[in-house]
Amino acid sequence: MCQERGAVAVSYGGAVLAWGHVPRFCVPAHEGKEVRVVAHGGGVALSDELRDRMASERLSQAAELDVDIVLDRRRRLLSCRVKLDQPSPQPSPCKVFS
């Protein structure tokens, strides 16, 4: 299966922090593939409440970001949750919605 393009959004508490494009990729049937995506953010304004919550969660290394990816060809949504300050050596499991 090949995907021609897609979009990614990274958010915290419902506020989008960064966005980007998913490059073209192909995955053989019944296999997985790691695809690197770069998301950029700038000029993002968080409410005081959300900023304070993130700061508190980061102190305890509990802050999580939502990563949502829309793949255009089949209109699939992949939704992942990742720890902000605890990078995992393994890819994060994602939910797939078609």
Q: β-pairing, 64-71 with 6-12? A: antiparallel
Mean per-residue pLDDT over the chain, rounded: 88
Q: Give the predicted TM-score (pTM) of the model.
A: 0.83
Give the pLDDT score at 35: 83
- Sign (positive or negative) of CA dihedral 27, 28, 29, 30: negative
Tell me: pLDDT of 74 over 70.
no
pLDDT digits (tens, 9 = 90+) for 10-58: 999 999 999 999 999 888 888 888 888 899 998 889 999 999 999 999 9
What is the rounded CA–CA span in Å between residue 76 and residue 55?
33
* Structure tokens belonging to residue 29: 């049937």
Domain ranges of the chain: 2-30+45-97
Other beta carbons within 10 Å of 59: 10
